[in-house]
Amino acid sequence: MNWLWDIIVDSIVDAILGFMETFGKYISNIFSEVYKINDALPFDSIVNYSRILAMAIVQILAINQLLNVYVFRTDGDSEEDPFEIIMRTTCAVAMIYCGTFIIKRLIQYASAISTKATELTTGLNTNISDKFTNVANGLMGTETMGAALTIIMLAVIAIGFIILVFQAAKRGAELMLFTIVLPIVS
């Protein structure tokens, strides 16, 4: 019966390793890959529209604040220098127009880091089934129970890996939405 557990464990480990060898490049950069897929879609017009809308909102708010403080004297201190309002408006405009550039650079850095981390860990996955089996046998005492625990551990790892990939893909899509909303928020 022990040979059956070994075959099952080896097949699960081989399936996980084969999947990682085949799709490892995309899995390690799933966050940036989803962002690239979403960036390839025609979102430029939506981003430009949100920039125009954000610029209109910034202009209206800046003019409203300048009028309320310096003309109508209803808000703030009219003796204060208007340079602070101009600086806040300038920072908002800079964030509106540089937000997409900043996000793309951060995605490039994250992709480079995950690629390097993947390259460093590619040689570390040898004899995984033997290591799991030895740990499980040490924990459980018998080989049959150890093999069952090994299968459970591998199943938990596989399910956790699938959940991690799904969450990273979802975060990449959220980042694309953030790119659209960032000008309005700033």
Closest CA to 150 of 2, 7, 9, 4: 9
Summarize the confidence of residues 112-138 as an average pLDDT: 63
pLDDT for 99: 84
Alpha-helical (H) ranges within the chain are 2-28, 30-40, 44-66, 83-121, 128-140, 143-185
- Confirm if 47 and 179 have CB atoms less than 8 A apart: yes
Instruction: Write the DSSP symbol of residue 122.
Output: G
Above 60 in pLDDT, residue 78? yes
Above 60 in pLDDT, residue 141? no
154-168, pLDDT tens digit by residue?
778 778 778 877 887
Could you give the count of Cα atoms lying within 13 Å of 163 in the half-sphere of its Cβ?
A: 6
Q: Using CA atoms, how far apart are residues 29 and 20, in angstroms rounded to an integer? A: 12
61-77, pLDDT tens digit by residue?
999 988 888 888 888 77
Above 90 in pLDDT, residue 176? no
Summarize the confidence of residues 97-120 as an average pLDDT: 80
Above 70 in pLDDT, residue 33? yes
